[in-house]
Structures are given as C-alpha cells and as structure tokens.
Structure 1
Amino acid sequence: MPIASTSQREHVVTSRAVTMPPPLAAPRFELADARVGRITCYGETPAAPVGQRPLLLIHSVNAAATAYEMKPLFEHYRTRRPVYALDLPGFGLSDRADRIYTPRLMTDAILLAVNEISRRHGDTAIDAMALSLGCEFAARAGTEAPNLFRTLALLSPTGLDRRAEAAAKTAGNKDVTRAMPWVRNILNVPLWKHGFFTLLTSRASIRFFLQKTFGRKDIDEGLLEYDYITTHQPGAENAPYSFVSGYLFSANALKLYQALAMPVWMVHGVRGDFVDYHGKHAVEGLPNWQIEVMQTGAMPHFEQLDKVIAGYDDFMTRAAGR
C-alpha cells in the first residue's frame, strides 16, 4: 500500500483547534490519504538509528475508544524502544466524519501508519500490539501485508466467541461484516442522534460499561475521565454507531487469525462480560501462536501490567530465536 506524499503525510497539528487534551503525552504527527482521511499518531522517531524494532499500539473500538487505552504499555516501552500509537478513524484526535466505519477503513488506517513507521526506521518490519476489536483490524493488516509485521500481539481479541463462530458459518467464504443497517438508520435519525449518545456516555454509563469490561467495580479512574472527555466532542457518535450496528465486526475474523504467518501472542482474562474464547481452539495448536490466560478482565495491561510486560517480553525473546 503506497504511503502518502510528504505534503499529505504530515500536517501542522496546530492548524485546527484541539478541544481536548491528547490521549498520550507524546509528540504527535498526522497522516492522511483519500481512503482513510486524517489520523493522528503518537511517538517520536529516534534522531539516530537504534537496535530495537518499532512497536505500534492499536486501541480497541467502543463508544469511547482512543489511544489512551494503550497508555500503560506506551509509557512503559517509550523508554526502552521506539513506540507508537494511533487514534483510529472516528476516535481521539483523528477525523470523526459522519460516514460508515468498516474493517476496510480501519485496516487501511493501520497500514497507513505501519508504512510510515516502517519508513522512518529504514523500511524495517514492525511489531504490533492490538486490543479487543482492534485485533481483528491488525490481523487483517497482517494477512494483507505480512512483510510489514515481524510479530503481532493480541490483547483480549474479539472474533473468538460462539457468536463469531456462528457468524462465520453463515458467511461461508464471503468477506462480509455483521452489519445491521436498520440499527444504524435508527440511531442516525437527526432528532435524537446526538441526544441518545449523550445519555449513553454519561459518567455513570461509562463507569457501568468499564466495570463490565474490567469485571469488577475497581476500574481505572483516569481512563473513565478521558472516556468522558472524548465522547463529548463533535462527531463522537459517528464511529460508535457503526460499531453498535455491527459494521466493524468481520464475519470471518477467525479465518484472519488462522491465516497469520508471523509469531502471534494472545492474552485474555477470565472476568467480566468478555470471557468467551470458545473459538481459540482453532488457533491454540498453531506453531506460531502462544496463548496466555490472566486473572483479569478485558484490560489486563491496566490491572496486571507487570505480568503483561513479562509475558510479552518472553514472547519477543522466543520470536527472536525463530
């Protein structure tokens, strides 16, 4: 996938009013092309060549998703290796246009970022780590451009539950989504489009959903506050409405995971509403896959950062020896 020209690729961030703080306190740059629009990335290219490959962190998709979801990992690795993160289209400081958001759009955004990061580091393959639904987009990118990825880490990936297995059987070999257009049409009625999302993203509602994600009442309060800020920006409902109406879920996510050729590390928790990994039997026997289970909810890096780091670093050591 060709990257944008220099004039297209980076824009001066101060050219538009920023109505919320960035999710990560790090240098940021913007990328853009006709398909993706404008996305914001975080991270700093070293002034001199370094030995470590760059790591790209990819957040999940929900009503309040941003690169903040990867903050604990970003803060840890930024002093140890080149690390980057991005706000996917429709989230954070990236464009929040009123359009249908699809796996194709999200995958193209990841590939746009990966191509640029690879270019900045001498056209080297990168390591990537994704969260939840972001794992499906990362896996699609990894199957389409395997030469750009050295390894892929998946935190609490979607697409491995019983509902996903049923959707895959219905889809057959078709590359389709689980979209329900009628749901999006109802949500997009101008009379209540913004008002409904405002109710959905009150502090009480966000806390409720985070408690279901963490599987306990004790959540990360910084994440809660940033979720509230980002969901009260213009256009904040556009991408989430594609999410809740199924447009962002691939019906064949499991096949994407099975097709990955690079070393893959997967970790998932056992608490909360996201613990159905019935379909992981399809990949856990593959020689390039390593799977770990942690006593956490769906955000293991917020609860047990040290264990996630130890597991990932061990995986990276093993991958380097392949």
Structure 2
Amino acid sequence: MRKLFLLAGAGLLLGISACTSGAVKPVPALPQPVSGERLELVSPEAGVLSYYVAGPDNGAADARPLLLIHSVNAAGSAYEMLPIHEHFRATRPVYSLDLPGFGLSERSDRVYTPRLMTDAVLAVTQAIRARHGGVAIDALALSLSAEFLARAASEQPEAYASLALVSPTGFSGRKPRHGEPGSVVGQSWLYRTLSWSAWDDGLYGLLTRPGTIRYFLERTWGSKAIDEGLWAYDQLTTQAAGAKHAPLYFVSAMLFSKDINTLYDRLRQPVWMSHGIRGDFVDYRGTAWYADRPNWQFTEFPTGALPQFEVPEQFLAAYARFLSGEQP
C-alpha cells in the first residue's frame, strides 16, 4: 500500500492532485490533444468515448492500425501519446484514445473500475477493426493502462497482433499479483475517505496549481527538463468539469488489478515491454518473471517514465523494430 501512495503522489500518475476536486474554475475549452479527426463512440459499457485518428495522405489501406492508450492520473489524456501518434501517422492509421473520465471522453460521476477501462479499450478496438476490414491491430499502453490492455488482449486475443507496454505497472520486485479474477488492490474505505466532499475545493485547487503539476512531472522525468507542452495541457485538463472522478479511484488503488500477473502470463501475442531508469518509477525487477518467454522483448531507456518525450528517436526506432518483427 505504501507504494500505491508513492504512485499517487508522483509525476506520471499525478494521483494526489486528484484526491480532491470541488467547484471547477472557468478554463478555456479543452483542445484536441493530438492531430487528426476526433471520433466519438457511445459504448453501453463505457459511456461516451473520444478518440482521434490520423494517417498517411495516401491512405495506406493495407497498413495495420495502431491504438495508443495514455496512463491513468489526474492529468491523463491522449496528449501523453503525442510523439508516438505524430510519428506513426505518416505510415499507418493511428488511433489515440481518451479513457473514460479523462480528456474529452465522458467524465461523469460513476464507479470507475478496471472492467470499465477494459470495456473502453475493447469498444474502441472493435470500432477500429470494423473500419479496417476486421484485421487485428497493434496496441500500446502507458503505465497502469498496460493492465487494461493486457486484460483486453487476454479476453479477445484475436483482436491484437502485438502489444507494447511502456513503463507498465505489475513489474515491481515484490511477489507477482495472482489474486482472484477481477479483484482489485484498493480498499473501499480509502475511496470513501478520499471522496469526502468537505475538503474538495481548497486542496484540489492547491494541488493542481501550475507549480505543483510541474513538481510532479519533474519527479516523473527524474529531471527538471520536462515537456512544456504536456505541462500546459495538464493544467487545462485538471480543471475540466468532472476532472476528479476517475483519478479518485486511482488514488484509492481501485484501478489496480490483483490478478494482473495472471493476465500477463496469458499473453501469447508478441509483447514489447519498455521502461526508463530515472525518476520515481524504476522498480522493474519483475521483468525477470517474463525474461524466458519467447514472445516477450524488453528495452531499457536512460530516461524517466515517459521515454517517448525524452528520447523520441531512440524510442520510436526501437518500437518500429519490434513492430517489424526484428529481434533485439
């Protein structure tokens, strides 16, 4: 549980800033986080979802679609996928998703669970495949969202040609999580405590100040050289209506799956797992659990938890090699 509180207070996840959220300040309309066309999907299970598609001018009708999924945090959005989205749009159709409770997707006051997030991934996957003749897609997820993608791929393996897990959760040096199917790490009492409305306005406003967001991003980077565009977008998205609802479940550990390593164990698609060695997210000793699996590849970058921003050329080249089927 101590690790979860660290996650809640550190850059990539920005979770502590979501512990309280009251009256929403007037802010400019949230702009689209990546280029291309904004699509909207109404899912019976996941609500209203926004996702964005861009591709090469020639159409590249035979190119395999790529789905990108951002991390879960108070400032989560498809903007975290920007370097990957803009690079691969030149050669293939790229789709970037705003998860439920984030970005321009529905942010209603409802129960947020791994099931809800997985259903969103599956719904968008189905929509993408329908647009491209039913082909299996490539998919990449960041941090905690790797757990949602792994669950989706274990449930519908035929839908995914490959999986990329960037700075994923579930790989710390502690014992693997093989809990009951669908169980979560969090405790309901913690959610009830954190959702107590008496402290919403003041604390949320304090923790989402520009300087505070910058502090958390610096901890994610392990450096002061953060991406300024991401910082600016984070300020907008943390002040949007309903911004607190989904992150509150994250801070309560209600979005962490107790059975995640069971799900990782089931993956049969080619899997690329990558991470950095700097900042608050550096414990990946659990990669040893999967090192002898022929369908898994691993890459370590000299960065924090967002290598796509720090070393984009190196990151994108490594991912492109994986997608092409090259061995490391």
Tell whether the structures are fold-level matches, with TM greater than 0.5.
yes
Q: Is the 8 A contact 2:165 2:271 kept in 1?
A: yes
The 2-side partners of 1:79 and 1:98 are apart by 38
Question: How far does the alpha carbon of each residue in 1:218-257 deviate from its partner, in whole angstroms, 9 at most, with x for none?
Answer: 1001100100100001110101100000011011212211
Q: Using the TM superposition, give the Cα deviation of residue 140 of structure 1 relative to its aligned residue in structure 2, in angstroms.
A: 0.6
> Does structure 1 residue 63 correspond to structure 2 residue 63?
no
Residue 259 of structure 1 corresponds to: 266
Task: Report if aligned partners of 1:258, 1:282 keep a CA contact under 8 Å in 2.
Answer: no
Instruction: Please list the CA deviations of residues 53-97 of structure 1 after superposition, one character each: whole Å capped at 9, or x if unmatched.
Output: 000000000111000000001011111111010100000000111
Alignment-derived partner of residue 239 in structure 2: 232
Within 2, Cα distance between the matches of 1:49 and 1:311? Answer: 22
Match of 2:315 in 1: 308
1:80 aligns with 2:67: no
| Counterpart in the other structure of 1:206 | 213
Stretch deviating more after TM superposition (96-105 or 42-51): 42-51
Matched residue count: 300
Equivalent residue of 1:191, what SS? Answer: helix
| Separation of aligned partners in 2, 1:136 and 1:281 | 18
Q: Contact between 2:55 and 2:92, CA under 8 Å: does it hold in 1? A: no
Which residue identity lines up with residue 195 of structure 1 in the other structure? G
**Structure 1 residue 162 displacement after superposition:** 3.4
Aligned partners of 2:181 and 2:64: how far apart in 1? 35
In 2, distance between residues paired with 1:317 and 1:29?
A: 28
CA distance in 2, matches of 1:188, 1:182: 10
Decide which of 31, 41, 48 is 1:38's aligned counterpart.
48
Tell me which residue corresponds to 2:118: 107
Separation in structure 1 between the aligned mates of residue 268 and residue 201 of structure 2, nearest angstrom = 42
Code of the residue aligned with 1:102 in structure 2: it is T
The 1:41/1:123 distance shift into structure 2, 3 A limit, reads same
| Counterpart residue number, 1:21 | 31
Structure 1 Cα separation of the partners of residues 54 and 201 of structure 2:
36
Letter matched to residue 50 of structure 2? T
**Given the two structures, how large is their TM-score scaled by the length of structure 1?**
0.89
Q: 1:193 aligns with which of 193, 196, 200?
A: 200
Matched residue SS, 1:139: helix
Query: Which residue identity lines up with residue 43 of structure 1 in the other structure?
Result: V
2:187 is matched with which residue: 180, 190, 196?
A: 180
Match of 2:243, as an amino acid? A
- Relative to 1, partners in 2 of residues 1:95 and 1:186: Cα closer, same or farther, differing over 3 Å? same
Identity %: 48
Q: Offset of 1:35 from its aligned partner?
A: 1.4
| Mapped partners of 1:242, 1:266: distance in 2 | 25
CA contact (8 A) 1:56 1:128 kept: yes
Change in Cα spacing, 1:139 to 1:224, as seen in structure 2 (3 Å) is same
State the superposition RMSD in angstroms: 1.9
Equivalent residue for 1:11? none
State the secondary structure of the residue aligned to 2:325: helix
Kept in 2: contact 1:53–1:81 (CA 8 A): yes
Alpha carbons 1:212, 1:273 under 8 Å: kept: yes
SS in 2 for 1:267: strand
Structure 1 gaps, min length 5: 1-17
Which stretch of structure 1 is more off in the superposition, 144-153 or 178-187? 178-187
Contact 1:39 1:88 in 2 (8 A): yes
Contact 1:90–1:97 (8 Å) recurs in 2? yes
Specify which structure has the bigger relative contact order, considering alpha-carbon pairs within 8 angstroms and separated by 6 or more residues.
2
140, 160, 165: which one aligns with 1:154: 165
1:139 maps to which of 132, 136, 150? 150
Letter of the 2:168 partner, please give it.
Answer: P
Q: What is the deviation of 1:49? A: 6.0
